[in-house]
Amino acid sequence: MKFKKILTYSLPFLLSLQLFACNGPNTTHNMTTELIEFSEWVNKNAAQSETISEENWNTLNAEFERRAATLESSIDEWDETDRQLWLDLESTWAVAKQNVSQRYGQESTIDQELSLDTVSVQ
């Protein structure tokens, strides 16, 4: 009789505990949150790519590579929305990277031309 009483009172508690455990936060939600935070970071820093110094850009690019590697390690857990967001982030960063490399590539070309002109004038 005592066993039946214990079972009667503990069964609802155990069932509610199971429901809570199954409906708790999962890794997919956490991954989406991390991707959204990374997306905000990428968009903010990609927008600065037109005015940022080359040294600061190199620091940001290294940070991007580090964070991207961390996120890519769990790519198997992503759903289709996360994968599409990731592709958008990669393309946004690639455009920013291209803008910076063109800008500093042109500046270094101009610097080389100026140094050649200076050498030929002497």
Helices (H) and strands (E) in the chain, counts: 4, 0
- pLDDT at position 76 is 86
Structure-block tokens of residue 6: 């214990």
Residue 74 lies in a domain: yes
97 domain residue, yes or no: yes
Predicted pLDDT of residue 78 = 87
Asked if residue 67 is part of any domain, the answer here is yes
Q: Which domain holds residue 85?
A: 26-121
20 within a domain of the structure (yes/no): no
More reliable by pLDDT, 80 or 8: 80
pTM tops 0.85: no
85 Cβ partners below 8 Å, 6+ apart?
35, 36, 39
Distance from C-alpha of 55 to C-alpha of 52, rounded to nearest angstrom: 8
Residue 54 backbone phi and psi in degrees, to 5: -65, -40
pLDDT of residue 74: 86
Is 122 a residue whose pLDDT tops 60? no
Q: Considering its fold, how many domains does the chain have in total?
A: 1
pLDDT greater at residue 14 or residue 67? 67
Structure tokens given for 3: 């066993």
